[in-house]
Structure 1
Amino acid sequence: MKLLTLLPSLFSLLLGFYLFNQPLSAIASIGWLIALMIFVWGIQGLLTYFRGDSAQRTIWQLLQASVTIIFGFILLGSSAFSLSRLVITIIAYWILVIGFLRLVSGYQLQQAGFGKRTLLSGLGLLLLGVLLLASPIFTSVFIGKFLSLIFLMIGFSGLVVSLRL
């Protein structure tokens, strides 16, 4: 039982120390997984195209699958720096869209007599999205350092539990 607690704790500590020294690695790993998923989606689209009825096939399906495969292949060969920037940019655009939708929803709720909470959260998300777009590398480093601290805390707490067993 003690070994089952000690090994993951030590692994978490090592990962935490590594991520603290290499913060872009965490974001780049996420970017690499996204690139792999894009590549696999392209392969799946190509297989779907060739397995489908010839009457239902269009050149647009083939073009979409081919572009997806090429894009995924390019991303898989990209550097950690560009992948970490890509992940933050995708997250920033997502936050901007969600912020805009919350802003519209909050405005409608405010007109109906409800509070301003949704409206304020939409404004906050828009501000966060703009900040992420303004400095994606700084954000990547910050997120990497934050993840390293989480792994360090998990590792230290697991180590304490392991020593008390």
Structure 2
Amino acid sequence: MDALRRGWVGLALFFAALVLMPILVFGYHSQEPRSGPTPAASPAPDGRPSRSGPGAMPTPSSTMSVAPFTFAGIHQGETISGFRIIRVETTGYAGPLTYVLNGPTGPYRRDLPGPPYLFTPHPGGWQTSEVPDGLYTLTAILVGAGNTQISISFTVSNGAGTIG
């Protein structure tokens, strides 16, 4: 009890953490070889390095393919309005998928544990009248397939609002 009051136990735990932390971090990073760049490590479209670290949103990059997958319900360069049902169709993949929408509203992220891969910021789909007009990029990331991703760009043109 006397040692506890003097702080020796706390000090011993602190030094043990200092010694063990580098060993644990090195062991974690050397467990799995990386097969390629992750979305946070890929450069932004204008050539600048993208943000990385906790909470960083992936930036759109070129289409890579591990499991075949495509967008349905929207086309590259399309101008959309009203209620839309957008989904990703995959062949041979049933793991987690992350949607990231970038545009005038800032990044919006939606994580799905498995199919169906519907982009649903609103019940049943996406009410585009709830976001400002402008150019958007929707990225779909197959989380369980090495963060393979596809992106599509389109324009929303129907009135201003916010994702709800």
Q: Same fold (TM over 0.5)?
A: no
TM-score normalised by length of structure 2: 0.21
Greater length-normalized contact order (CA 8 Å, ≥ 6 residues apart): 1
More helix by share: 1
TM normalised by structure 1 equals: 0.21
More strand by share: 2
